[in-house]
């Protein structure tokens, strides 16, 4: 990173502990925190209410170093995809989605992903490493700075919501995720409501419990199947934490969650998981978990064996859920022309898993389940 200590790696408690080690008072840490995150400042010399001696000390010993923006592409629908260099030949992606009343940033937590979900472009890239806390929060830092620099940019177009749904499984990088979450929620940093920050997981049940205990925010679960046989093939982590354990973890999470429901994400795959029977069994599975469904039209990527469900099929699936009284939305595909849509984020990853595409056995298993 070019500096011994990157101050973006610290939440408030960590920064105060670091300052204490320098013989500095806690209020100086809060001052620097505000300059870094609320003001987007990386120049200690510009921190005008901090003593010159401390600024000089920080300038010598530390730095404020977010991942560098190497690409910034704008979609026809105003979705904006950022590519960040995280070193070692790896690049991760984040996506800003502007809407009339809010601006949502989709953030990455890992360089690649080890979970290898069948329908996800990120999983095809393999896995290199966890991102540091500074690399996670640095995506928000950089995007806020870029958006704030635009002449005449309306305040509501800046980041008001964050979803940890980019590259990687957030709960597999828990310590760094939690540090970044605390910064997002801190009034001296970004001051976001817990309801406006969402962590999405493929189903690491024990870590859902830990998130509930340490930093509960809105929870989204990538479900994608109503039974273990199909989910084992689509989402391999299900073999370790099957649906019974996952649903129990969701019920426990709601005891402390800022929202009174869990969002279940469900990618609609033609002929795989989109029948009326699948919808009815999905209702049976989630009947005792207060929830809403977010149906996601599959976004194709090179080499994928899947197809998007037809609009009539998707509408009928949604009707069954809605008629049962479950709030159900269909995600509008955004940024598809710049490969920024859900499931398309790939970045650039030096794979340490030596994965070379999906093993044929996984695709075979999906087709076997379909034939049952």
pTM for this entry? 0.90
Which residue spans of the chain are classified as CATH 1.10.150.530? 5-63
* 343 Ramachandran zone, left/alpha/beta (phi>0; psi -120 to 50): left
Q: What is the pLDDT of residues 349-369, one digit of tens each?
A: 777 776 544 444 444 444 444
pLDDT confidence of residue 2: 55
Write out the DSSP string of 101-170. Answer: S-EEEE---EEE-SS--TT-HHHHT-EEEEPPHHHHHHHHHHHHHHHHTSTT--GGGS--EEEE-SSS-G
Active site residues: 93, 342
pLDDT confidence of residue 354: 65
Question: Would you identify the CATH topology of the domain 68-371?
Answer: TIM Barrel (3.20.20)
Whether the pLDDT of residue 371 is over 50: the answer is: no
* Residue listed under structure tokens 């939305």: 329
Alpha-carbon distance 315 to 331, whole Å? 12
Confidence of residue 257 (pLDDT cuts 50, 70, 90): very high
Which residue spans of the chain are classified as CATH 3.20.20.70? 68-371
Whether the pLDDT of residue 16 is over 80: the answer is: yes
pLDDT confidence of residue 68: 96
pLDDT confidence of residue 355: 57
Beta-carbon contacts of 333 under 8 Å, excluding residues fewer than 6 positions away, are 297, 299, 341, 342
Query: Domain 5-63 - what CATH class?
Result: mainly alpha
pLDDT confidence of residue 333: 67
Reference 226, options 260, 277, 184; nearest CA is 277
- Enter the tokens of residue 96: 């800003």
Alpha-carbon distance 188 to 138, whole Å? 16
Confidence of residue 126 (pLDDT cuts 50, 70, 90): confident
Whether the pLDDT of residue 107 is over 90: the answer is: yes
pLDDT confidence of residue 342: 52
For residue 233, report the phi and psi dihedrals to the nearest 5 degrees. Answer: -80, -35
């Amino acid at each position: 990173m070019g500096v011994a200590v990157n101050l973006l790696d610290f939440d408030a408690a960590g920064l105060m502990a670091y300052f204490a080690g320098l013989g500095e008072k806690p209020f100086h840490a809060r001052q620097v925190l505000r300059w870094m995150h609320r003001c987007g400042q990386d120049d200690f010399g510009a921190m005008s209410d901090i003593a010159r001696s401390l600024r000089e000390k920080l300038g010598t010993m530390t730095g404020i170093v977010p991942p560098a923006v190497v690409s910034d592409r704008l979609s026809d629908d105003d979705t904006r995809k950022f590519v960040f260099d995280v070193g070692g030949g790896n690049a991760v992606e984040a996506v800003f989605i502007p809407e009339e009343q809010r601006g949502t940033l989709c953030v990455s937590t890992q360089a690649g992903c080890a979970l290898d979900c069948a329908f996800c472009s990120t999983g095809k890239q393999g896995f290199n490493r966890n991102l540091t806390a500074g690399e996670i929060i640095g995506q928000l830092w950089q995007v806020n700075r870029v958006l704030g620099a635009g002449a005449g940019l309306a305040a509501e177009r800046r980041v008001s919501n964050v979803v940890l749904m980019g590259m990687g499984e957030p709960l597999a990088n828990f310590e760094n995720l939690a540090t970044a979450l605390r910064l997002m929620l801190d009034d001296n940093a970004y001051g976001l409501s817990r309801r406006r920050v969402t962590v999405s997981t493929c189903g690491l049940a024990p870590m859902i419990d830990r998130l509930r205990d340490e930093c509960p925010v809105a929870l989204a679960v990538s479900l994608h199947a109503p039974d273990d046989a199909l989910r084992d093939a689509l989402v391999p982590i299900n073999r370790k934490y099957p649906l019974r354990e996952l649903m129990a973890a969701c019920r426990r999470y709601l005891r402390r969650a800022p929202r009174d429901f869990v969002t279940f994400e469900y990618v609609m795959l033609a002929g795989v998981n989109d029948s009326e029977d699948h919808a009815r069994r999905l209702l049976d599975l989630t009947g005792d978990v207060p929830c809403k469904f977010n149906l996601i039209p599959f976004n194709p990527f090179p080499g994928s064996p899947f197809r998007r469900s037809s609009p009539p099929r998707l509408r009928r699936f949604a009707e069954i859920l809605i008629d049962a009284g479950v709030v159900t939305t269909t995600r509008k595909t955004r940024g598809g022309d710049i490969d920024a849509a859900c499931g398309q984020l790939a970045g650039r990853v030096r794979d340490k898993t030596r994965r070379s595409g999906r093993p044929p056995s996984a695709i075979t298993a999906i087709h076997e389940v379909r034939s049952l």
